[in-house]
Chains A and B, each alone.
Chain A
Amino acid sequence: AQSVTQLDSQVPVFEEAPVELRCNYSSSVSVYLFWYVQYPNQGLQLLLKYLSGSTLVKGINGFEAEFNKSQTSFHLRKPSVHISDTAEYFCAVSDRGSSNTGKLIFGQGTTLQVKP
């Protein structure tokens, strides 16, 4: 079964510093990969997604992620964070299998804490 591991439960960082949130998934079969952001007591908002093609994916709010098939990783990066980036971030994978249910398997989440 698919699984997603977010390697850090909390990432504290100072404002304007770069950040990387790490994500690894278990399956070697073709997958779709997503990063979502959640602000307190709200739903999830899509940051970016990898479906195929270029392994470097750019998303909203200056975030980007790189798909690495050999390492089964999809790490999220931002070169300079703002206080407003403080939120919980979820990595998710969807199986490209024939059933195409669209089900997402989520990681445990990483709380990004941006300090002034």
Chain B
Amino acid sequence: DGGITQSPKYLFRKEGQNVTLSCEQNLNHDAMYWYRQDPGQGLRLIYYSQIVNDFQKGDIAEGYSVSREKKESFPLTVTSAQKNPTAFYLCASSLQGSMNTEAFFGQGTRLTVV
């Protein structure tokens, strides 16, 4: 089955540590996205990538980093510079250059700072 896989489902981080969230898709989509979800705030865009080896900052990129070395993979690193990293993180992908801009989402990773 085609889809998006995020891992792990739950992640705990100590203060001052970097952590990396995994996102893999087998939909052959060019574009991939990372969103952060906080209660009452909807989803906010962290980073997005429209093509391999290229990515752009979203609305809340500070304290995060990404890479896009393969079409299928778009890992997100939450660095120690992110002051409030506890949140639910969602990865998504979509076709590019098409009228159909529907995004497909993974099941999310819940990150908690302990």
Which chain B residues border A109 with CB–CB below 8 Å? 40, 42
Task: Decide if A100 touches B96 in the complex (CB within 8 Å).
Answer: yes
A43 interfacial by beta-carbon distance below 8 Å:
yes
Given A49-B102, A101-B31, A102-B101, residue A43 in contact with residue B96 (CB < 8 A): no
Q: In the complex, are the beta carbons of B106 and A100 less than 8 A apart?
A: no
Contact string, A16-55, partner B, CB cutoff 8 A, digits 1/0? Answer: 0000000000000000101010000111111001011000
A51 to chain B minimum Cβ distance, whole angstroms, is 6
**A contact residues around B56 at 8 Å (CB):** 101
5 A-B Cβ contacts within 8 A? A44-B92, A44-B105, A51-B100, A100-B101, A103-B33
B interface residues, Cβ below 8 angstroms from A: 4, 6, 31, 33, 35, 40-45, 48, 50, 56, 58, 88, 90, 92, 94-97, 99-108, 110
Q: Min CB distance, A25 to chain B, in Å?
A: 13
Q: Give the residues in chain A near B103, CB-CB below 8 Å.
A: 34, 44, 46, 102, 104
Closest to A32 in B: B101
Report which A residues bind B (CB closer than 8 A): 4, 6, 9, 32, 34, 36, 41-46, 49, 51-52, 90, 94, 100-104, 106-109
Give the interface SS of chain B, mostly helix, strand, loop or mixed.
strand
Contacts of A52 in B (CB 8 A): 99
Q: A36-B105, A104-B92 are in contact. List 4 more A-B contacts (CB 8 A).
A: A6-B42, A44-B92, A102-B95, A106-B42
The answer to whether A45 and B105 touch across the interface, beta carbons within 8 angstroms, is yes
Give Cα A8–Cα B92 distance, bound, in whole angstroms: 25
Is the CB–CB distance between B94 and A42 below 8 Å?
no
Q: Known contacts A90-B42, A101-B48, A103-B48: does B90 contact A51 (CB below 8 Å)?
A: no
When distances are taken between beta carbons in the complex, the residues of chain B under 8 Å from A34 are 102-103
